[in-house]
Amino acid sequence: MSKTVIKTPDAPAPIGPYNQAILSGNMLFISGQICIDPSTGELKNKDVQEETHQVMHNLKAILQQAGMTFSNVVKTTIFITDMHQFSVINEVYGKYFEGDFPARETVQVSALPKFVNVEISMIAVK
């Protein structure tokens, strides 16, 4: 099995023992991204919309580094800390796919790294 680490300065550096993404064959596995601004290392979390946009920007940067776009995404997992925010997060998330939506689940959790409100991971296929 071939395994290539995907790394870009346009997305936050990992905050633990993991990589931004792994490319195995034609499949890209992107680690969960939170709202860290890679240019400052600070959280962009004035509200859940800003958080979700930053998460999606981080995911986009990793996809681009691997030569892919959101149209290559086949599966996402969204972790949120408050299911009452689902519709707001969903609205922002949906704008990035232009109607070509992947399979997905959304799960409410008690806490996320750095106590953010949203974390999203993805699987994409080239």
pLDDT of residue 80: 98
| CB distance 55 to 35 below 8 Å | yes
- Hey, how many other C-beta atoms are within 10 angstroms of the C-beta on 6? 20
CA Rg, the chain, in Å?
Answer: 14
Where residue 90 sits, what CATH number does that domain have? 3.30.1330.40
| CB distance 11 to 38 below 8 Å | yes
- pLDDT, tens digit, 9 for 90 and up, residues 60-97: 999 999 999 999 999 999 999 999 999 999 999 999 99
Statement: residue 1 has pLDDT above 90: no
- The domain of 108 spans 4-125
- 54-to-1, 51, 73, 86 alpha-carbon distances in Å: 32, 5, 18, 16
pLDDT of residue 39: 96
Q: For the whole model, what pTM was predicted?
A: 0.97
- pLDDT, tens digit, 9 for 90 and up, residues 87-112: 999 999 999 998 889 999 999 999 99
Domain count for the chain, please give it. 1
| Average pLDDT over the chain, rounded to an integer | 97
| Among the listed residues 9, 30, 2, 1, the one whose alpha carbon sits nearest the alpha carbon of residue 18 | 30
